[in-house]
Amino acid sequence: MSTQNTRLGIWLMVMTTFIFAVQDGISRHLAGEYNVLMVVMIRYWFFAAFVMAVATRKAGGLRAAAATAQPLLQGFRGMLLVAQICVIISAFTTLGLIETHAVFACYPLLVAALSGPVLGEKVGWRRWSAIAVGFVGVLIILEPGFGVFKPQAVIAFVAALMFSLYALLTRYVARRDTTATSFFWTGTVGSVAMTAVGMWYWEPMLGPDWVWMAALCITGAAGHYTLIRCYEVAEASAVQPFAYLQLLFVSVIGILVFSETIRLNVALGGALVVSAGLFTLWRQRRVGRL
């Protein structure tokens, strides 16, 4: 059993959010030049290889990692995540990194809202209030009825909804399966699903972009590794608030690399969403201690 080290866990979460922000920037570049399905397919090939390499180092090897009593649910989880990745990368190219992540930041609120019907968990009035405030923030970002509503923003919200359901299903299958098993199914099922779809959209890639593709694969594996290590050394409730730093890192990349701007409504709405999300996480941790 790993020794609990909250300070190390926080630094690992900060590192994870930075790596994932860089990964999103690379994804936006590649998806702007090539078909999204092909980009995600190649990324998942590497991810599946990484997952199997990790599984072989665990007790029981691949056989133990693949063993599950709920294969249909695990398979659905894997396909849901890979579909969500395709959707959010599409949002990067149509909406931009900053606005996509400002909307996507509402996913912890969606997890809290859906935890009742999906997991049977009780959500008190305080967290429902925070959820309502967070969705006001999303509406401020979307600006419906002001003549500047971007339909592409709905894509980012759909991605957040899909990821929320994935997170809830991950918690559900964890009642009977180990983390290693869920990780294995996520990578392998996603790889098979994307190969079946992405192979029809293959197109030649320029030499320099293969370097970026390699960087995308490496950052994907590195981010998952640091995230796993983070949850091994610290409680999720202690480090999860720092996951919001990804919005900060993505904003810097969006501004410096892609010449994006932060509109006032996005800044205000994003601040509301993040504040509501942090309160929800704090409340969940406090209730867990009672």
Residue position matching structure tokens 């936006």 = 28
pLDDT at 147: 43
Which residue range(s) make up the domain with 81?
6-289
pLDDT at 123: 64
pLDDT at 167: 84
Q: How far apart, in whole angstroms, are the C-alpha atoms of residue 238 and residue 214?
A: 33
pLDDT at 45: 94
Q: How far apart, in whole angstroms, are the C-alpha atoms of residue 243 and residue 158?
A: 20
- Residue 173 is assigned to a structural domain of this protein: yes
Residue 1: which pLDDT band, with cuts at 50, 70 and 90?
A: very low
- Residue 22 is assigned to a structural domain of this protein: yes
Give pLDDT tens digits for 139-188.
Answer: 666 665 544 456 677 888 899 999 889 888 888 888 888 888 888 999 99
- Residue 1 is assigned to a structural domain of this protein: no
Q: What does each C-alpha distance from 123 to 162, 260, 282 come to in angstroms?
A: 20, 37, 13
Domain count, the chain: 1
Average pLDDT rounded to a whole number, residues 198-227: 90
Average pLDDT rounded to a whole number, residues 179-207: 91
Q: Residue 270's closest CA among 137, 144, 159? A: 137
pLDDT at 288: 57
- Residue 61 is assigned to a structural domain of this protein: yes
- Residue 84 is assigned to a structural domain of this protein: yes
Is the predicted pLDDT of residue 102 greater than 60, yes or no? Answer: yes
Average pLDDT rounded to a whole number, residues 65-89: 92
Query: What's the chain's average pLDDT?
Result: 82
Q: How far apart, in whole angstroms, are the C-alpha atoms of residue 107 and residue 36?
A: 22
Could you tell me the two tokens for 124? 């008190």
- Residue 143 is assigned to a structural domain of this protein: yes
- Could you tell me if 21 and 253 are in contact, meaning their C-beta atoms sit under 8 angstroms apart? yes
Average pLDDT rounded to a whole number, residues 100-104: 85
pLDDT at 85: 94
- The model carries a pTM of 0.84
- Residue 231 is assigned to a structural domain of this protein: yes
Give pLDDT tens digits for 25-73.
Answer: 999 999 999 999 999 999 999 999 988 988 888 778 888 888 888 999 9
Give pLDDT tens digits for 250-269.
Answer: 888 988 998 888 777 777 87
Phi then psi for residue 34, to 5 deg, are -135, 170
